[in-house]
Chains A and B, each alone.
Chain A
Amino acid sequence: MDKEQLNSHREVLFRYALLQMRDEHAAEDVVHEALLAALQGDGSFRSESALRTWLIGILKHKIADHYRISAKYHSIEALNDENDAIETIENLLFNEKGHWIGTIGAWTEPDHALEQNEFWLIFEWCQKNLPALHARAFMLREMVGLETEDICDDMDISHSACRVYLHRARLGLRECLEQRWFNAGHA
C-alpha cells in the first residue's frame, strides 16, 4: 500500500473520526493508527472509493477500540439510537397538495454569512437540533464527503431511508437557518 495514496484520504478519515469522537486529538490518533494498519495491509483496489470504504472500515475498528472501555461510547450509541418518531417535517412545510406552506425566502448574500462567526454558531445550533439520524446522514454526506452507498452501509439503513434522511435534513437545516439567520436581521 502506497503511503501517498493513503495520505490523500487522511482528511476524509479525520472528518469521519471527528464526527464520531468530537475530540480532535483522539480523532488524529485513531486516524494515525488506522493509516498505519492500512500500510501493513496488502489490499489492491479497483477504485479510490473502494479504497476509502476499506479505510473507513479499519478506522471504525480503531474508534471502537478507543472507546471500548469508555463510558462516553455508550452515550454516543444512545444518541444514534434515538428514534425519529416526530411529526415529519414534510407535514410542517408542505400542504396536502404538496405545495410549500408560505414562500421560501430569498437569502440576500448568503456567502457573506460564511464570513461571520455568529453564523457558524447558528449553523451548529441548527444542525444539533435536527433529529440525530438526519443530522448524521447529512454530516456523513456533506462534511465527511461519503457517497450515499457508504452512508447506507455505515448507518445500516436502506437506500430509500438514506434519501429521506438527507432530504429531511436539508429541509430542516434550511428552515432553521432562514428563521434564525436570514430572517432574523443578520443578513
Chain B
Amino acid sequence: MMKRTCIEISELLSEGMDRSLRWHERLAIRLHLIICKSCYRFSHQVQFLRKAARRYK
C-alpha cells in the first residue's frame, strides 16, 4: 500500500531523523511530498528543529 496519510508521513519523517528508512518508506515519502505542500514543509522543519536544538545552549 503506497498511499499514506499526512499523519503517517509525518511519523516517517520524524523516524527518518532517528534511523535509516527502508527504500519503500523513502519512496512513500517522496511520492507524498510531490502532492502535499504541508508535509513538504514539515520535512524541512524537522531538520531545522535538529539544527536549532544542536545550537541551543
- CB pair B48 A107 closer than 8 Å: yes
Among candidates B11, B41, B44, B49, residue contacting A173 with C-beta atoms closer than 8 Å: B49
- CB pair A143 B5 closer than 8 Å: no
Interface flags for A152-170 (1: CB within 8 Å of B; 0: not) read 0000000000010011001
- When A163-B18, A166-B18 are in contact, do A104 and B37 touch as well, CB less than 8 Å? yes
Among candidates B15, B17, B53, residue contacting A143 with C-beta atoms closer than 8 Å: B53
Interface flags for B10-48 (1: CB within 8 Å of A; 0: not) read 110011011100000000000000000111011011101
B contact residues, total (Cβ < 8 Å): 28
- CB pair A107 B41 closer than 8 Å: yes
- When A120-B56, A173-B49, A174-B42 are in contact, do A141 and B7 touch as well, CB less than 8 Å? no
A103 located at the interface, meaning its Cβ lies under 8 Å from any Cβ of chain B in the complex: yes
- When A105-B41, A107-B45, A107-B48 are in contact, do A171 and B19 touch as well, CB less than 8 Å? no
- When A98-B8, A100-B6, A174-B46 are in contact, do A139 and B53 touch as well, CB less than 8 Å? yes
Among candidates A104, A142, A167, A171, residue contacting B38 with C-beta atoms closer than 8 Å: A104
CA of A174 to CA of B43, assembled, Å:
11
- When A123-B52, A143-B53, A174-B45 are in contact, do A98 and B5 touch as well, CB less than 8 Å? yes
- CB pair A94 B45 closer than 8 Å: no
Give the residues in chain A near B8, CB-CB below 8 Å: 98
A16 located at the interface, meaning its Cβ lies under 8 Å from any Cβ of chain B in the complex: no
Give the residues in chain A near B53, CB-CB below 8 Å: 138-139, 142-143
Chain A-chain B contacts (Cβ-Cβ < 8 Å), number: 78
Main secondary structure of the interface of A (DSSP, over half): helix
A contact residues, total (Cβ < 8 Å): 34
- CB pair A170 B5 closer than 8 Å: no
- CB pair A170 B54 closer than 8 Å: no
A90 located at the interface, meaning its Cβ lies under 8 Å from any Cβ of chain B in the complex: yes
Give the residues in chain B near A99, CB-CB below 8 Å: 5-7
- CB pair A103 B14 closer than 8 Å: no
CA of A103 to CA of B40, assembled, Å:
11
A25 located at the interface, meaning its Cβ lies under 8 Å from any Cβ of chain B in the complex: no
Q: List 13 A-B contacts (CB under 8 A).
A: A103-B38, A111-B51, A123-B56, A124-B56, A138-B53, A142-B49, A142-B53, A145-B54, A148-B19, A167-B10, A167-B11, A170-B46, A174-B46
